[in-house]
Amino acid sequence: MHAFVDFTVPDTSPDEVLELFQPLVPSFADIPGNLAKIWLADADAGRYGALYLWRDSEDMQAYLDSDLWQAVQEHPALADFDVRRFTVIEPFTKATQPGLTIV
Residue 73 has a pLDDT of 92
Residue 101 has a pLDDT of 62
Share of the chain above pLDDT 90, in %: 45
Does CATH number 3.30.70.100 belong to domain 2-95? yes
Residue 3 has a pLDDT of 76
Q: What's the gap between Cα 37 and its chain centre?
A: 5
What is the Cα Rg of the chain in Å?
14
If one compares 98 and 84, the residue with the highest pLDDT of the two is 84
- pLDDT above 90 for 91: no
Mean pLDDT of 4-23: 90
- pLDDT above 90 for 63: yes
Structural domain boundaries in the chain: 2-95
Asked if residue 27 lies in contact with residue 67, where contact means CB atoms within 8 angstroms, the answer is no
pTM above the 0.85 mark?
Answer: no
Say whether 14 sits in a helix, a strand or coil.
helix
